[in-house]
Structure 1
Amino acid sequence: MKTIKILAVAAILLLSHACNTQVEKKENTKSLIPEEAIFPKGELGPATNFTGNAYNFGLVENDSVYNTLAGNVYFEKGARSNWHVHPSGQILIVLDGEGYHQLEGQPKQTMKKGDVVECPPNVKHWHGATENNSLTQMYILPKTENGIVTWLEAVTDEQYISN
């Protein structure tokens, strides 16, 4: 009987130590992983269309069935697109970080994780990360049979920092 009690106590101590070790490992692993991205970083966008580093990863290729493009863009801190227009508009879904978007003639707006932004057809606009945060956004371009994008001039530093 005494042996069974000793074995039971030993088993409880061993199990308790194993659970604590697993919790410590999870906590240590969690602190070592900086940011878990949903999609790969993608290809660096051309400097002719972006200020700073922005990376595109295509998710849905354009075709004659869906006539839609979708992808993910990761903007490093301070990176932004040039002004541009989409003939059928654009939908942005913020997956992580914080950024800005601006429609021409309107004040710059802040976007955060979970926000959905609709850029109307043929309206000049830009979007990108804030000065202190990166931004991960998904984009959806509908009705691509009307065209995809027309890239315009760079967003100036004054436009970027203005309210």
Structure 2
Amino acid sequence: MHITRTHPDTRQGPAENFTGPVWLDELAAPELPSRLRLFNVHFAPGAHTAWHTHPHGQVLHVLDGEGRVQREGGPVEVIRAGDTVWIEPDEWHWHGAGPRSFMTHLAAVEAAADGTTACWGAHVGDDEAYPAL
């Protein structure tokens, strides 16, 4: 057993992968052979990821606020505190806050053998992310 009492500083999500203010807190990145990665991700209203995939899928658990998630070819879905989303391996998707609400979720992924946790694609436009507005 290992208890971690200190974590890396909060870092801002890089502009090449996110639209709007997003902050990432790495909660877990155990040493090999584990490939688990766990993040607490805070999205400002209207902030969201670019399209991306994960080699082994991703679990999102919404802790606070209201957000949006979409898989390629599917509708934009509203997600709220308490919701859990399973994203299939290599499924193109994006997620983020609602247009007028902060949203915080836990994000769990398993790294590939080469350490890769995500493959990033194009940015998502606001008209695509919030079509009903």
Which category of TM-score, normalised to the shorter sequence, fits these structures?
A: 0.7 to 0.9
Residue 121 of structure 1 corresponds to 89
**How does the TM-score come out when normalised to structure 2?**
0.87
1:41 Cα deviation after fit: 8.5
Residue 60 of structure 2 is aligned to residue 92 of structure 1: yes
2:26–2:38 contact (8 Å) kept in structure 1: yes
Distance in 1 between the 2:130 and 2:8 partners?
A: 29
Q: State the percentage of identical aligned residues.
A: 35
Distance in 2 between the 1:40 and 1:76 partners?
A: 21
Deviates more, 1:59-68 or 1:39-48: 39-48
Residue 7 of structure 1 corresponds to none
- How many residues are treated as equivalent by the alignment? 125
Aligned counterpart for 2:36 among listed residues 49, 54, 68: 68
Q: Which runs of 5 or more residues in structure 1 are unaligned?
A: 1-38
Higher helix residue share = 1
1:67 Cα deviation after fit: 1.1
After superposition, the CA RMSD in angstroms is: 1.9
In the TM superposition, structure 1's runs of 4+ consecutive aligned residues that sit over 4 Å from their partners are none
Residue 47 of structure 1 corresponds to 15
Distance in 2 between the 1:144 and 1:71 partners?
A: 17
Residue 126 of structure 2 is aligned to residue 157 of structure 1: yes
Task: From the superposition, tell whether residues 75 and 40 of structure 1 become closer, same or farther in structure 2 (CA, over 3 Å).
Answer: farther
2:8–2:26 contact (8 Å) kept in structure 1: no
Task: From the superposition, tell whether residues 124 and 62 of structure 1 become closer, same or farther in structure 2 (CA, over 3 Å).
Answer: farther
Distance in 1 between the 2:101 and 2:111 partners?
A: 32
**Residue deviations 1:28-49 (CA, integer Å, cap 9, x gap):** xxxxxxxxxxx99821111111
1:124 Cα deviation after fit: 0.3
2:53–2:89 contact (8 Å) kept in structure 1: yes
Residue 103 of structure 2 corresponds to 135
**How does the TM-score come out when normalised to structure 1?**
0.72
Secondary structure at the counterpart of residue 91 of structure 2: coil
Instruction: Answer 1 or 2: higher relative contact order, Cα 8 Å, separation at least 6.
Output: 2
